[in-house]
Structure 1
Amino acid sequence: MAFSVVSAVSAHAETTADSSSTLSPLVVTATSTSVSVADSLSSVTVINREEIKAQQAQEISELLAAQPGVDISSNGGYGKTTSVYMRGASAESTKFLLDGIPLYSATSGGAPFENIPTSLIDRLEIVRGPKATLYGADAVGGVIQAFLPEADDDAHMNVSVGGGSFNTKTIDATVSGSSDNTQYLLSAGKFETDGDIVKEGEGAQGYRNENILLNVGHDFSSGARISGLIMNSEGRNHYVGDENDYQVQVIGLSVSLPVTENWDTELKLSQTRNDSKTISSEDKYNTKTQTARWSNTISAGEHEFVLGAETSEDKVDVTSYQAPDRSNNAVFAQSQFDFGATNLQLNIRQDHNSAYGDSTTGGVAVGYKLDGIHTLRASYGTAFEAPTFNDLYYPSSGDPTLKATKSKTVELGVRADYDNMYWDAAVFDASYGDMVIWSNYTGSWAAYNVDSKVQGVELSSGLTLEQWQLKAALTWLDAKDDDTGFQLPKRAKRSARLSADRLFEKGRVGVTLIGADGRATTLGSSETLAGYVTMNLRASYDFAADWNAELSVKNALDKEYQTAKGYFSPGRGVFLTLNYSAF
């Protein structure tokens, strides 16, 4: 229905030969350099700060749910383990970057999406398809990059206080400014809730998060820039029968400078921690990753080249098993050629993993502009992913002989950009060799290598019409185990997302509908989780100078649904937030 509406109004959309519409924003993740989404040769979704604010999302999963090619599975409500599947690949095959810094757990392999506050996110970029040639292992299904807010030359102060259902309380404060070419931003916040019922017959399960971010940068007269950030998110999470303390920490330092007029170089150093400790048993799962990345961007007329090297090391401290440190060294190259109506992108990367040896990945993408509006694109890419430490060493169920996952993906797409609307369509065919899946389909719960075939269609569209903002996304996915024909678990066959917002002089109202088809619970099981449709309502109003109020109703239909077997998502919740901005 959404696409019928969009098609009906597209004939009335004003067009230009060189569309610079805000509906085609800039994206960095697809190529590691800045290009517009319209000119990108990848399937991309950008969620900017305005949209994040308008959605009034309390967790990243709200922003990602039912986006094209994206599946979300959560073990309940607030702060509970959240897995993100892209294009049918495993959750560990979704690369998550925080300001260019890879963030994941070396034990489970997944990113701690549930512990990254949305108040710290300035923009989200979702790039679908293999990007191992730029970002290494784990970028098999796609890459999600969250950008933290940066300070500008003007001083700002923002304070938000909120509360609502499930005894939820929030407070966030941000101060930013600059002095003598040095920009700074300091943000701190707290989110606390009693939560809702996660499992049948059990009580509500609470969650607490305290976070802080310091972002500092300095510009030199030579054009060089040095910047650093520290982000820490920690708290306590309540599960059925137990609770755990967690900490997610990111430290990054970046130095960039123009070597010549056509050559820029950047060195980025980072360290991340993802720690968890169970209160009753004091079992711990602590991981630390250190990364150094050197990249060089060279322009030659309309063409651009990226050359670089990267090294990383994973260290784990786990109560239940011993695991050796693991390192990865890589060199990579990317070339982008602009021949007017035709664009060509070539990528290649060589990785040496201390546990799995050498791996070469590559990619090629071609784009052709039919006119000033429509662009065709085609791409082929390979990727790999090393098994996690839990896959290899978890007591009685891990398997140290597991092989690394290798993938091949072919994609065809077309995009149209008008002055006030866009639409994008993509079809893909992906083969995942030796994908690691946890299942009991052979009689015991363990990690297995399986070969899988995934095919899909992704559609997305956006329209700005006077005071209305509309967005829609549809995904059809067929993800199966090659050997048995079983549907891969936790991947919905169909999903859809529709958002509509009406803007007024001093506020806005909006609704988001999210729907998903049924999905298999585990590999080899005939049991499926029922499909669902949820509705989120929202409104905001500028009731005084520098003051704003936000009201949201999450799961307004009070739908009882699960995205992981036995774990219920929260019921209806009503939340009110007051915002004050100064300077």
Structure 2
Amino acid sequence: MKRSILLASAALSVVAIAAPAMAEDAVQVSDVVVTATRLPAIVADTPGARVIDSQTIEQHGAVFAADILTTVPGLSIARTGAFGGLTQVRMRGAAPGKTLVLVDGAPVNDPAEINGAFDFGSFELADIDRIEVLSGPQSSLWGSDAIGGVISFTTQEVQGMRAEAEAGSFSTVRGRLSAGVANDKYAFGAYVSRFETDGISAADERDGNTERDGLRNTTVGAKGRYAFNDTTKIDGSVRWVKSHVEIDGFPAPNYSLADTDDTADSEQWSGFARVTTQAFGLKHQFSVSASDIERTTYSGGAGSTFSGDRQVYRWQADGKTQNIAYAFGAEREESKGDLSTGLSRDLGTTSVFGMAQYDAGALNLTGGLRYDDTDDFGSKTTGRVSAAYHLNGGFTVSGAYGTGFKAPTVVQALCDWCYAPKPWPELKPETADSVELALGWASPDGRFDGRATVYRLNIENQISYVAGRYINIAKTRSDGVELEGSARLGAGFDLTLAYAWTDATDRTTGARLLRVPENTASATLGWTGERLSGTLTVRAEDDQDDSGGFSTVVRKGFVTGNLNAAYVLTDNITLTARIENLTDKHYQQVFGYGEPGRSGYVGIRLRY
């Protein structure tokens, strides 16, 4: 009860600050559309869908993806080191490898990681225009890896020239330069960003660790499109990221987390190329997307290198007749992982899919089916159906049922670091099913909106490492409630609230799943004046079960706040400032790993 009161107080304190500013200003807001659903859909009609636009990213002063994803209900972030440490996302309690991450439609999950998860540690937002989050199984849309959901990033299309520079605590410097041209016929832009910091000790300083662990990160990218005529166009993008991060390890003789000279280097590129044309009354898209990653960890003078690559070849056709929009197509995905032990493996899947959307004004129905035929682990059919109905008074009731699957990863298929006698058990794909119901409301003038969601997510045949080999054994279940709302309060104030209750358990053992706090909440109060604007974000998490080596420990809950401000000096120049961890709270995102105390940064943005 004490933790619940603490979380509620964090949100209500921001409401109390904003309440006196409420006014009767009417603001008409257009429907927000999510596109990672393949057929564009209105967010309010799509259970589990959220969209974070570039204005929101800028308003929060978010530098890395994890900085903004912590405000999405149902997402929990595990970060082993404040700057560049391994950072993974759990959606609705599902393990990190069950969240598919896309950049401009290209899957970027690491094929050579144990669970096939994506590391958000060095993912900068300098070039990101939009983030779409789809919670719940999305395999009918994207195939394997989407049991927990999908996080889709879209890079910016630049018009003109932009430059940013920032400096602050821990000898941190950050810069970005981008330039481009865009019109109806063509667009081309390129960008480069650099982030450097001396950081803090990855292992908590209160445990006697004083060595700073820094990060050096570079991101370079380009994006373009060209329309040959009204029916045919090409577009594509490429993104390259290279990072060097200093980390801590578990040295002898105690083998507990402490200062070490360990480092980790990674290099990743991703991109896509697509042709869009009209034929036979349909819009056809032919695309190729690819990603490649190599990461090396150095410990005690020795390096361990892992690399993986993935290619997806896709054809999709879209059509529409009266109130029905539909899409169908085929895909071929090929991935490969090379492990430090010298083992390597190729995996592939051939898929066909189809979906349709019926919109009758008050009623919206969507359904999809997908058939995936893996080269090594059999075939699987997944589906998803959802419905939304608009009631009187601005209310919308919606629901969805979906299934998902995840094929074994390269590491699991090779049984890397397996010591049990052969033969090893034949692995089967993990499977999932989920049901969710939501009730949303929006005021007629668009100033207020909110949504409450309840869900259950079941995962079967989860692959676990037991007695020296990988086997299908675990069954997990997540029951949850997600509450979210926003308000335009007048006098320049706006408020966003989010809360999630997640009861995630291992049905095999009855234990709570690690690194999934039961209660999380965030509140963001923004104010915009003629030249000055500011945002206060308060975030809270309660206790969570965590790993303490060979035993389960409890990571204590926390409440922390950040303040971001901007001053428009001229039409082309904006000054920025932000303070993180306003109250200088000592806390841990993951047990044993420290987070920065109060820190400040100042910067400048130039736009032409």
CA distance in 2, matches of 1:316, 1:34: 33
Out of 549, 552, 555, the residue aligned to residue 529 of structure 1 is 555
Q: Number of matched residues? A: 569
Aligned counterpart, 1:167: 171
Aligned counterpart, 1:263: 282
Aligned counterpart, 2:600: 574
CA distance in 1, matches of 2:464, 2:594: 23
Long gaps (5+) in structure 2: 1-7, 249-260
Aligned counterpart, 1:503: 528
CA distance in 2, matches of 1:335, 1:45: 21
When structure 1 is superposed on structure 2, of 564-573 and 348-357 the one drifting more is 564-573
Shift in Å at residue 34 of structure 1? 2.2
Aligned counterpart, 2:474: 450
Could you say what secondary structure the match of 1:548 adopts?
strand
Shift in Å at residue 271 of structure 1? 1.4
Listed as ranges, the matches of 1:338-349 within 5 Å are 338-349=359-370
CA distance in 1, matches of 2:600, 2:425: 47
Listed as ranges, the matches of 1:378-389 within 5 Å are 378-389=399-410
Out of 71, 78, 85, the residue aligned to residue 80 of structure 1 is 85
Listed as ranges, the matches of 1:14-33 within 5 Å are 21-22=29-30, 24-29=31-36, 31-33=37-39
CA distance in 1, matches of 2:184, 2:43: 34
Task: Give the structure-1-normalised TM-score.
Answer: 0.92
Cα separation, partners in 2 of 1:566 and 1:95, compared to 1, 3 Å: same
Out of 54, 60, 72, the residue aligned to residue 49 of structure 1 is 54
Shift in Å at residue 358 of structure 1? 0.2
- Which residue identity is paired with 1:521? D
CA distance in 2, matches of 1:447, 1:220: 52
Shift in Å at residue 432 of structure 1? 0.7
CA distance in 1, matches of 2:470, 2:214: 30
Aligned counterpart, 1:465: 489
Cα separation, partners in 2 of 1:266 and 1:449, compared to 1, 3 Å: same
Out of 28, 38, 41, the residue aligned to residue 35 of structure 1 is 41
Out of 370, 375, 398, the residue aligned to residue 396 of structure 2 is 375
CA distance in 1, matches of 2:40, 2:405: 25
CA distance in 2, matches of 1:367, 1:515: 31
Long gaps (5+) in structure 1: none
Deviations 1:349-406 (A, max 9, x none): 0001122110110111121111362111111110011232233433147977443211
C-alpha RMSD of the superposition: 2.5
Asked if residue 485 in structure 1 is aligned to residue 510 in structure 2, the reply is yes
Shift in Å at residue 317 of structure 1? 1.9
CA distance in 2, matches of 1:557, 1:444: 46
When structure 1 is superposed on structure 2, of 499-508 and 553-562 the one drifting more is 553-562
Aligned counterpart, 1:278: 297
Out of 231, 248, 265, the residue aligned to residue 223 of structure 1 is 231
Out of 199, 212, 217, the residue aligned to residue 209 of structure 1 is 217
When structure 1 is superposed on structure 2, of 115-124 and 389-398 the one drifting more is 389-398
Contact conserved, 1:397 with 1:446, CA < 8 A, in 2? no
Contact conserved, 2:219 with 2:241, CA < 8 A, in 1? yes
Contact conserved, 1:88 with 1:454, CA < 8 A, in 2? yes
CA distance in 2, matches of 1:311, 1:52: 34
Could you say what secondary structure the match of 1:391 adopts?
helix
Cα separation, partners in 2 of 1:3 and 1:201, compared to 1, 3 Å: closer
> Which stretches of structure 1, 4 residues or longer, exceed 3 Å deviation after superposition?
1-9, 11-15, 396-403, 442-449, 522-526
When structure 1 is superposed on structure 2, of 354-363 and 195-204 the one drifting more is 195-204
Contact conserved, 2:338 with 2:345, CA < 8 A, in 1? no
Aligned counterpart, 1:96: 101
CA distance in 2, matches of 1:219, 1:497: 43
- Which residue identity is paired with 1:546? N
Deviations 1:108-147 (A, max 9, x none): 2111322221101111111111111001111111111111
Contact conserved, 1:126 with 1:145, CA < 8 A, in 2? yes
Out of 457, 461, 483, the residue aligned to residue 434 of structure 1 is 461
Shift in Å at residue 8 of structure 1? 8.9
Deviations 1:465-514 (A, max 9, x none): 22011101000010111122100001010100110011110120111011
Could you say what secondary structure the match of 1:562 adopts?
coil
Listed as ranges, the matches of 1:28-427 within 5 Å are 28-29=35-36, 31-38=37-44, 40-108=45-113, 109-151=116-158, 155-178=159-182, 181-199=185-203, 200-202=207-209, 203-240=211-248, 241-259=261-279, 263-279=282-298, 280-371=301-392, 373-392=394-413, 393-396=415-418, 401-418=426-443, 419-427=446-454
CA distance in 1, matches of 2:62, 2:180: 23
Contact conserved, 1:66 with 1:495, CA < 8 A, in 2? no
Task: Give the structure-2-normalised TM-score.
Answer: 0.89
Deviations 1:435-475 (A, max 9, x none): 2356xxx7889777310111000010011122011101000
